[in-house]
Amino acid sequence: MNIGQAARNSGLSAKMIRYYESIGLLKTPHRTDSGYRMYGHDDLHTLTFIKRSRDLGFSLEEVGKLLTLWEDRQRASADVKALARQHIDELNHKIRELGQLRDTLQDLMEHCQGDHRPDCPILKELAAGNCCA
């Protein structure tokens, strides 16, 4: 199948497929005499694996590790589980950070009168910054 068909079948864009190829996540596909990329069933399976991994929030580096583990039939499942556990820990950290951001913004919003007056605690907090001491 050509890159357009591979894109449709995998749920990825042709641009992303070319990118994954350029960074080594996807093996260089066979090319026709006129230079068009041709993808097979194994390539499509790999693309689907990459897409699903990315959908679950794994970084490109982590996807590379997962692909290596997936292709190694002698690997220990404990290695895969450890990578998944690390990713869950990172997700939980991000969830906590996002919760704190939401709570801060919620508090600021509740203190803003939202009327015709120019005084706004949201803008005051943004202007205060507290980042560059």
Question: Which of the four CATH numbers 1.10.1660.10, 1.10.10.10, 3.10.20.30, 3.40.980.10 does domain 1-63 have?
Answer: 1.10.1660.10
What pTM was computed for the model? 0.80
pLDDT tens by residue, 82-94: 999 999 999 999 9
- The domains of the chain are located at 1-63, 76-133
For the CA atoms of 124, 128, 130, 133, what is the dihedral angle to 10 degrees? -170
pLDDT tens by residue, 24-74: 999 999 999 998 999 999 999 999 999 999 999 999 999 999 999 999 999
Return the sign of the alpha-carbon dihedral for residues 76, 77, 78, 81.
positive
